[in-house]
Amino acid sequence: MDLRLRFANGSMSGDGTDDIGVFLIKGGYDSATLECHWTKTYVGAHDVFYKGFREGKGIWGTWEIGIFGHGGFRIWPRDAGDAEEQKEVREEPEVVDAIGVEEIVK
């Protein structure tokens, strides 16, 4: 998966591609609680709803496609490496270039 996320003034947006196709991201975040939520819209197809929490250099949480499916995910920046190896906390840049989403289907 290739994913670009932008964070500004409580809103998040982005775009990317994965094995399903091209998608757009639109949602929001709360910098006090570290919570975020967004909709991933596949162009000309379906939506996937995400709720998650920022932790260290990544975001983890749950996804759902209405009554059709749900599971867990984890997103991490391309340069983050293993979160366990991170020794310092830095502010995220406005645009985050992510390397992937790990989706766990239930």
Q: Which tens digit of pLDDT belongs to each residue from 30-62?
A: 999 999 999 999 988 999 999 999 988 899 999
Q: What is the pLDDT of residue 80?
A: 56
The mean of the pLDDT values for the chain is 80
Quick one: CA dihedral 48, 94, 74, 35, positive or negative?
negative
C-alpha pair distances (Å), 40 with each of 5, 65, 86, 91: 11, 10, 28, 24
Q: What is the pLDDT of residue 66?
A: 83
Q: How confident is the model at residue 76 (pLDDT cuts 50, 70, 90)?
A: confident
**Quick check: 67 pLDDT over 70?**
yes
Residue 91, SS3? coil
Question: 12 and 38 in contact (C-beta within 8 Å)?
Answer: yes
How open is the CA angle 9-42-46, to the nearest 5 degrees? 110
